[in-house]
């Protein structure tokens, strides 16, 4: 805000002077083609408009340096939530090392009470190209660079759903690498954590779907905790139904969308790295049914 | 175009067949012809890159639009950026420098005419390579054609794992080849300015146009080299098993960023300093006063050149440098605003107390001053690292740098066209079409780039081919697109003006603007040898001295 005010004032002053000069010193009919006084410069004026900006810059810089230090060098408190964020082409993997949770694309964090803060500290990694984690209402962005672990933190004071997305161009579907952050009340967050810590629900009525899932290449990329599926190339599906969106926020998590997504990912997200598996209709329906039990 | 200023009455030159004329142009080593070739080449690619921009804007007109596929969209913004920077703005500025610097310092040609031709053809070949990728980039079936890695081509997106086919190679080779062209031209400008000034033209009497191009050329030598080195390293990575930037084999993505931006930020000043040069020639003439604070203008330019070498990592505030590095690049980026501000104040000082004539070149110059002021101030905002953590990589940045590049550099280039076209062709550009061009372009520019700041503040990242309707960015993007089309129409008016005036424009005569530098002392267009007799100068404004012998500048300097 301070920066905005200063640049605003500079803008106002110089803008006014320019307008004044343009109106005041235009050529008029009465000049009869004569030349104005030829002025070559003035050392005093030059000094003035050199020194004043230097002073402004010094003040601006000192204010900025304090903020940079306060944000970047903030110590991590014992009550902080730890999350490892791994950027993939074109989705987000979230791992909570202290809580033993793995999920994707939708981040749940607790709201932070100023009296008893529970900020979230993110460790940012990349599995492939550069990405950038950006949820404008919660924090500035920080890049996820391969071989270059980064860190950032958020201290949300308000409950709600906050939309964000990848900000560093990462390939074909950079645009649909969306992400949403659910800032939950402490009680909701605790409930969410408990649910996520459970292994996948084993529902005998969808045995056919599970069989189809585990006998195709699906499990090379996807994991379902407690089953042979342990791929890590794609999002963890253990609690797929707890998420409101699929395909990294590209579409809502409904039966029809899920079916379309499994059948032909390019219809929803052209250029996505999930292949169309050319499943028979029966297998497709069975797998969708199976997925829908993964709450 | 007349080759000879000295004509013998009664003798009619025979019309040459067009093949001879073409041959002359292709093999020319005349700095004026090469200058014009640079400019025409830049104009052609301006149209191409402009069409790419319009494709981008149509796609973003509303959310979930399907005008082009994401793959095509990514190629379009990569090609638009690469073309505009390397094959439109650089060549057009080199073109004007080539044409004008020898004339302004009283020389008969550049120091190395053959190197000059070689440099131009290298640049031309670079652009050809870039666009050949549409045909040749498909190294494998379906591997894509034109480059789609963004104009700064961050590693590891350019590694072979992520960029199959040859599209990235064409991008690399295009920049490598045109980079050598730029270095050649820079050496040439330096040698010309240092060695070929006419008698009396001390360094302190040189037109600012020559001074600023000298500084710019020095920067080219320093800035293009790391870019070329990085391109060679990238080729080694891709074809010889190197691991400079290949993160999967332990290479460093951040290393590429440093290499690219230590070129990329000085590059911005390489582009804007010649624009400053145009301003410093045009504003005084249409204010009817000498430039205010000539020595300070030179000093400020050199200061900008120095400081600009130490600001590059402000493009990398989000990359995760430590707080000391971020603070350092914040202060250097803020400091560069000081000499830049001094320049704006000095142009204001030049206009102050003058008798301003609002001819088309001056209109574009005034547009430049306002827009550059705003672009500079949004630059200071982003120099502040915490601000940048929000604004970087968003449409706010896109708006900011287009404010500087279009609102600043392109406006200055248009001013230069209207100002020097009469010298180059012997015909005036139409003032009426010029004013249409100016106002249409101004309105389109502000519709597009003023509005573009807002989606950035609302969280719209750059380089996305579509966005979700729930974000509420639709209306803003529609306005931006409408503005882009108005700019497109303005460019058509400009091109029409260039063509129509070439055949039907009013005769310019030697000195249509009542100006003061040496290029206006010779015929329009100038003869091949420029000056029948090498002029001798006694001040910064030799033609003022000639026109006002009772009150010459030489008395005061």
pLDDT of residue B8: 58
Nearest Cβ partner for B349 among A45, A140, A174: A45
Instruction: Choose the final residue of a domain: A178, A197, A216.
Output: A197
> CB-based contact (8 Å) between A164 and chain B?
yes
List chain B residues with CB under 8 Å of A249: 468
List chain A residues with CB under 8 Å of B557: 40
List chain B residues with CB under 8 Å of A146: 156, 247-248, 253
Instruction: Choose the final residue of a domain: A142, A166, A197.
Output: A197
pLDDT tens by residue, B31-81: 999 999 999 999 999 999 999 999 999 999 999 999 999 999 999 999 999
Residue B383: pLDDT band by 50, 70, 90 thresholds? confident
pLDDT tens by residue, B171-189: 999 999 999 999 999 999 9
> CB-based contact (8 Å) between A150 and chain B?
yes
A212 and A262 both lie in a single domain: yes
B461 three-state secondary structure: strand
pLDDT tens by residue, B194-246: 999 999 999 999 999 999 999 999 999 999 999 999 999 999 999 999 999 99
pLDDT tens by residue, B146-175: 899 999 999 899 998 898 888 899 999 999
pLDDT of residue A11: 83
Neighbour tally for B175: CB within 10 Å:
27
A117 and A171 both lie in a single domain: yes
Arithmetic mean of pLDDT, B400-422: 96
**Which residue in chain B is spatially nearest to A33 when comparing CA positions?**
B355
Q: Taking a contact as any Cβ pair under 8 Å apart, which residues of chain A between 109 and 148 contact chain B? A: 124, 128-130, 132, 134, 136-137, 139-143, 145-148
Q: Give which of B308, B292, B277, B528 is closest to B408, Cα–Cα.
A: B277
pLDDT of residue B553: 85
A263 and A281 both lie in a single domain: yes
The total of structural domains in chain A comes to 3
**Which residue in chain B is spatially nearest to A70 when comparing CA positions?**
B323
- What is the CATH classification number for the domain harbouring A114? 2.60.40.420
A221 and A172 both lie in a single domain: no
Give yes or no for residue B341 having a pLDDT over 70: yes
* Residue A30 covered by a domain: no
- Burial call B49-71: b when 16+ CB within 10 Å, e when fewer: bbebbbbbbebbbbeebebbebb
From the CA of A245, how many Å to the nearest CA of chain B? 13
Q: What are phi and psi of A119, to 5 degrees?
A: -70, 165
pTM assigned to the model: 0.94
Residues paired with A94 in a beta bridge? A85, A103
What sign for the dihedral angle of Cα B313, B318, B320, B326?
Answer: positive
Provide the token pair at B462: 């750059």
What is the residue-wise DSSP string for A115-167?
Answer: TB---EEEEEEESSS-EEEE-TTT---EEEBTTB-EEEEE---S-EEEEEEE-
Q: What are phi and psi of A162, to 5 degrees?
A: -120, 125
Q: Give which of B302, B295, B300 is closest to B218, Cα–Cα.
A: B302
**Which residue in chain A is spatially nearest to B353 when comparing CA positions?**
A25
Q: Could you tell me the residue range of the domain that residue A67 belongs to?
A: 1-20+41-73
A185 and A169 both lie in a single domain: yes
Nearest Cβ partner for B323 among A11, A68, A176: A68
Neighbour tally for B351: CB within 10 Å:
29
> CB-based contact (8 Å) between B199 and chain A?
no
Q: Apex CA A270: angle with CA A267 and CA A271, to 5°?
A: 145
> CB-based contact (8 Å) between A178 and chain B?
yes
Nearest Cβ partner for A18 among B253, B348, B557: B348
Report ipTM (2 d.p.): 0.92
SS (H, E, C) A12-73: HHHHHHHHHHHHHCECCHHHCCCCCCCCCCCHHHHHHHHHHHHHHHHHHHHHHHHHHHHHHC
A216 and A172 both lie in a single domain: no
From the CA of A83, how many Å to the nearest CA of chain B? 17
Instruction: Choose the final residue of a domain: A132, A166, A197.
Output: A197
* Residue A34 covered by a domain: no
> CB-based contact (8 Å) between A73 and chain B?
yes
Provide the token pair at A69: 């230090």
Q: Do B334 and A57 touch (CB under 8 A)?
A: yes
List chain B residues with CB under 8 Å of A273: none
Q: Do A147 and B377 touch (CB under 8 A)?
A: no
Interface test with B, best of A44, A131, A169 (most B CBs within 10 A): A169
* Residue A31 covered by a domain: no
Give yes or no for residue B143 having a pLDDT over 80: no
Interface test with B, best of A20, A47, A129, A153 (most B CBs within 10 A): A129
- 10 Å CB burial of residue B302 (0-12, 13-18, 19+) is middle
Residue B401: which H helix or E strand, with range? helix B395-402
How many Å apart are CA A64 and CA B411, to the nearest integer?
33
* Residue A147 covered by a domain: yes
How many Å apart are CA A215 and CA A238, to the nearest integer?
17
A111 and A149 both lie in a single domain: yes
> CB-based contact (8 Å) between B67 and chain A?
no
pLDDT of residue B6: 53
How many Å apart are CA B279 and CA B413, to the nearest integer?
9
A100 and A136 both lie in a single domain: yes
From the CA of B296, how many Å to the nearest CA of chain A? 8
How much is the mean pLDDT over chain B?
92
Give the rounded distance of the alpha carbon of A145 from its chain centre.
14
A132 and A219 both lie in a single domain: no
Nearest Cβ partner for A145 among B319, B377, B470: B319
Give me the torsion for CA of B335, B336, B342, B343, rounded to 10°: 180
Give yes or no for residue B4 having a pLDDT over 60: no
Q: Give which of B14, B149, B143, B157 is closest to B78, Cα–Cα.
A: B149
A179 and A95 both lie in a single domain: yes
pLDDT tens by residue, A229-280: 999 999 999 999 999 999 999 999 999 999 999 999 999 999 999 999 899 9
Q: Taking a contact as any Cβ pair under 8 Å apart, which residues of chain A between 15 and 54 contact chain B? A: 15, 17-18, 21-22, 25-28, 31, 35-42, 45-46, 49-50, 53-54
Residue that has been written with the tokens 């020595």 in this structure: B295
* Residue A4 covered by a domain: yes
Q: Which domains does chain B have, with CATH numbers?
A: 29-555 (1.20.210.10)
List chain B residues with CB under 8 Å of A145: 253-254, 319-320
* Residue A28 covered by a domain: no
* Residue A248 covered by a domain: yes
Q: Do B154 and A129 touch (CB under 8 A)?
A: yes
Return contacts of A190-193, CB within 8 angstroms, 24+ apart: A192/A108, A192/A242, A193/A96, A193/A99, A193/A101, A193/A108
Q: Do B338 and A36 touch (CB under 8 A)?
A: no
pLDDT tens by residue, B470-519: 999 999 999 999 999 999 999 999 999 999 999 999 999 999 999 999 99
Provide the token pair at B469: 């309707």
A113 and A7 both lie in a single domain: no
**Which residue in chain A is spatially nearest to B371 when comparing CA positions?**
A15
Residue that has been written with the tokens 């997305």 in this structure: A165
A185 and A217 both lie in a single domain: no
Residues (pLDDT < 50) of chain A are none
* Residue A1 covered by a domain: yes
- What is the DSSP-derived secondary structure letter of residue B153? T
């Amino acid at each position: 805000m301070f920066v905005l005010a200063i640049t605003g004032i500079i803008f106002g002053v110089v803008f006014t002077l320019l307008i004044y000069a343009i109106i005041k010193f235009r050529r008029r009919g009465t000049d009869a083609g004569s030349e104005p006084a030829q002025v070559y410069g003035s050392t005093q004026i030059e000094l003035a408009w050199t020194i004043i900006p230097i002073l402004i810059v010094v003040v601006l810089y000192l204010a900025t340096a304090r903020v940079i230090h306060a944000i970047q060098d903030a110590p991590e408190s014992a009550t902080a939530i730890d999350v490892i964020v791994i950027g993939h082409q074109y989705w987000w993997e979230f791992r909570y090392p202290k809580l033993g949770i793995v999920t994707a694309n939708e981040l749940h964090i607790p709201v932070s009470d100023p009296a008893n803060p529970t900020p979230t500290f993110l460790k940012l990694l990349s599995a492939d190209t550069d990405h950038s984690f950006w949820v404008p209402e919660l924090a500035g962005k920080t890049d996820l660079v391969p071989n270059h672990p980064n860190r950032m933190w958020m201290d949300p004071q308000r409950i709600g759903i906050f939309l964000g997305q990848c900000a560093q161009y990462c390939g074909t579907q950079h645009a649909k690498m969306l992400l949403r952050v659910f800032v939950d009340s402490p009680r909701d967050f605790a409930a969410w954590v408990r649910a996520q810590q459970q292994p996948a629900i084993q529902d005998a009525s969808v045995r056919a779907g599970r069989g189809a899932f585990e006998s195709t290449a699906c499990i090379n990329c996807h994991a379902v905790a407690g089953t042979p599926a342990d791929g890590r190339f794609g999002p963890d599906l253990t609690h797929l139904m707890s998420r409101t969106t699929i395909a990294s926020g590209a579409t809502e998590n409904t039966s029809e969308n899920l079916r379309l997504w499994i059948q032909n990912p390019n219809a929803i997200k052209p250029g996505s790295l999930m292949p169309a598996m050319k499943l028979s209709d029966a297998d497709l329906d069975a797998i969708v049914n199976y997925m829908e039990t993964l709450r | 175009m007349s080759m000879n200023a000295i004509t013998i009455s009664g003798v009619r030159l025979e019309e040459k067949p067009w093949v001879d004329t073409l041959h002359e142009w292709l093999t020319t080593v005349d700095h004026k012809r090469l200058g014009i070739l640079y400019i025409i080449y830049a104009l052609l690619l301006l149209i191409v890159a402009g069409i790419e921009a319009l494709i981008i804007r149509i796609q973003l007109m509303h959310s979930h639009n399907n005008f082009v596929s994401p793959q095509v969209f990514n190629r379009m913004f990569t090609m638009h950026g690469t073309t505009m920077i390397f094959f439109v703005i650089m060549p057009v500025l080199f073109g004007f420098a080539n044409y004008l610097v020898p004339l302004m310092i009283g020389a008969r040609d550049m120091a190395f005419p053959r190197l000059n031709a070689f440099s131009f053809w290298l640049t031309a070949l670079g652009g050809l390579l870039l666009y050949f990728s549409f045909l040749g980039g498909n190294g494998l079936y379906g591997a894509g054609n034109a480059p789609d890695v963004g104009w700064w081509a961050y590693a590891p997106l350019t590694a072979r794992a992520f960029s199959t086919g040859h599209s990235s190679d064409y991008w690399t080779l295009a920049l490598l080849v045109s980079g050598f062209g730029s270095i050649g031209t820079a050496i040439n400008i330096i040698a010309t300015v240092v060695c070929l000034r006419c008698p009396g033209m001390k360094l302190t009497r040189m037109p600012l146009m020559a001074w600023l191009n000298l500084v710019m050329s020095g920067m080219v030598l320093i800035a293009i080299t790391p870019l070329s080195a990085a391109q060679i390293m990238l080729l080694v990575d891709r074809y010889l098993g190197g691991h400079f930037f290949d993160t999967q084999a332990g290479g460093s993505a951040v290393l590429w960023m440093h290499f690219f931006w230590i070129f990329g930020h000085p590059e911005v000043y390489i582009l804007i300093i010649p624009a400053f040069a145009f301003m410093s020639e045009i504003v005084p003439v249409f204010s009817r006063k000498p430039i205010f604070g000539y020595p300070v203008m030179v000093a400020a330019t050199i200061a900008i050149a120095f400081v600009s070498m130490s600001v590059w990592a402000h493009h990398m505030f989000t990359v995760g440098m430590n707080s000391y590095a971020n603070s350092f690049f914040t202060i250097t980026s803020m400091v560069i605003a000081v000499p830049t501000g001094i320049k704006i104040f000095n142009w204001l000082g030049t206009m102050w107390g003058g008798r301003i004539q609002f001819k088309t070149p001056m209109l574009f110059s005034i547009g430049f001053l306002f827009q550059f002021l705003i672009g500079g101030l949004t630059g200071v905002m982003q120099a502040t690292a915490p601000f940048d953590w929000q604004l970087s990589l968003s449409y706010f940045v896109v708006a900011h740098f287009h404010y500087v590049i279009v609102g600043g550099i392109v406006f200055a280039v248009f001013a230069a066209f209207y100002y020097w076209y009469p010298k180059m062709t012997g015909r005036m550009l139409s003032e009426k079409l010029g004013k249409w061009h100016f106002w249409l372009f101004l309105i389109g520019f502000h519709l597009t780039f003023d509005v573009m700041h807002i989606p950035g503040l609302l969280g719209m990242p750059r380089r996305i081919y579509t966005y979700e309707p729930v974000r509420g960015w639709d209306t803003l993007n529609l306005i931006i697109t409408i503005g882009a089309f108005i700019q497109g129409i303005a460019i058509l008016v400009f091109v029409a003006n260039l063509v129509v005036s070439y055949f039907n424009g009013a005769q310019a005569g030697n000195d249509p603007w009542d100006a003061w530098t040496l290029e206006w002392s010779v015929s329009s267009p100038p003869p091949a040898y420029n000056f029948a007799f090498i002029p001798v100068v006694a001040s910064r404004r030799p033609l003022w001295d000639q026109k006002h012998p009772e009150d010459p500048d030489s008395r005061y300097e």
